[in-house]
Amino acid sequence: MRKTAFIYTDRYSDFDYGDAHPLKIYRLKLTYELIKSLGLLDIPNSKFVEARKAQEEELLLFHDKEYLEVLKILNEGANIKKAYLYGFGSGDNPVFKGLLDWSLFVTGASLQAAELVDSNEVNIAFNIAGGLHHALRNRASGFCYVNDPVITIEYLRRRGRKVAYIDIDAHHGDGVQEAFYSTNDVLTISIHETGKLLFPGSGFETEIGSGIGEGYSLNVPLPPFCDDEIFIYAFSEIVPAALENFRPDIIVTQLGVDSFVTDPLAHLNITNNAFVKIISQLKNLSERWVALGGGGYDIINVVKGWTLAWAEMNDIKLSEKLPKEFFDRYKSWGFKDESIFDKPYIVSGDIKEKMKEAVEKTIRFLYDKALSKIK
């Protein structure tokens, strides 16, 4: 039986991007509360782990020292004139008191997940706060100040592990791809809405890596308004075949739920029914799995999605309804009904055929130009 670990701390709630910002950190607390109310923290062969802060020097596994110094200054809530040169300012990446502390907690929890899995203490470790995949070596980007997936992968890589990174966030995992674009001991796979319409404007199928890394970067850009069937088709056609060729020691996943039908920052029409099926596939594709959270800006999608993911990781099938006590307590937070599963959403007709044709074309390209190079 698999052993699992859930990594979390209430200290996440000490931080806030601001009332107008779409990334609401309280989504983590609400997810934790639903998981707890369902008894999913009292599972045999599972453990709860209090998240630790990363050490500042652990950030240097990826980020520049100069960038870290800027983060330390901004952590006090005071801005500096050159902050914009590092991606900070109003909008996506605001300066707020504790932004480095927040990033250290997120990264520390992701590193704990890697340590637990790499040591074989558990098979699966889940850090719902992680997955901040846009940050670059010396620049904040897309709500992300520190790239915890890259740091986690680099930690494992330096221990001699072959790592496959699988990203199903609606937004392309550009920071992770860039970090490992020229290497062949890390395989990156991102399934996301096309960069023609969505930030960060990258992740096209032609981005397959460079040098010895050619073929080790796989992108499946999806047309807008894709449904569950196309999403599952894209994943099933690419991910298992790529992993069979690569044979990773450990997989690291970014499980963003901004691909869901009601998310305000993307245009995909996925439901948590398809999401659970993808989690089930991932569970069976590797014995060692570091799972990270990611995007998600409809709070209810986040809470339900990551709760369902944690249940699936532990082979638990949930009932159709939220616990009554939880629903009554948090109903005012945006829950419209007691159902934990989304209603099915399927596109049909000509638009569906055009979507599938576009995805099939991408898959054929990747088989021809990339998958054959992976070993």
The string of pLDDT tens digits covering residues 88-113 is 987 999 999 999 999 999 999 999 99
* pLDDT at res. 1: 81
Mind telling me the catalytic residues? Answer: 172
Res 188 pLDDT > 90: yes
**Domain definitions of the chain by residue range:** 4-373
* pLDDT at res. 79: 77
**Over the stretch 124-137, which tens digit does the pLDDT of each residue have?**
999 999 999 999 99
| Sheet-wide strand order for 289-292 | 46-50, 4-8, 124-127, 289-292, 250-254, 163-167, 186-193, 217-222
Instruction: Specify the DSSP class assigned to residue 307.
Output: H
Residues 6 or more apart in contact with residue 87 via CB below 8 angstroms: 93, 136, 139, 140, 141
Residues 6 or more apart in contact with residue 129 via CB below 8 angstroms: 8, 12, 28, 51, 105, 106, 109, 293
**Over the stretch 293-345, which tens digit does the pLDDT of each residue have?**
999 999 999 999 999 999 999 999 999 999 999 999 999 999 989 999 999 99
Q: Which of 219, 202, 241 is nearest to 372 (CA)?
A: 241
Burial class (CB in 10 A: 0-12, 13-18, 19+), 110: buried
Helical segments of the chain, H only: 26-37, 65-74, 99-118, 148-158, 174-179, 228-246, 272-285, 299-313, 324-330, 350-369
pLDDT band at 80 (very low <50, low <70, confident <90, very high): confident
Q: Which of 229, 220, 168 is nearest to 352 (CA)?
A: 229
Fold of 4-373: Arginase; Chain A (3.40.800)
* pLDDT at res. 81: 84
**Residue pair 7/112 in contact by the 8 Å Cβ criterion:** yes
Instruction: Specify the DSSP class assigned to residue 144.
Output: B
Q: Which of 79-83, 114-118, 275-279, 361-365 has the lowest mean pLDDT?
A: 79-83
Give the global pTM.
0.97
What gap in Å lies between CA 126 and CA 28, rounded to an integer? 12
The tokens describing 284, both together, are 């069976």
**Over the stretch 61-79, which tens digit does the pLDDT of each residue have?**
999 999 999 999 999 987 7
* pLDDT at res. 131: 98
Residue with tokens 């300066």: 95
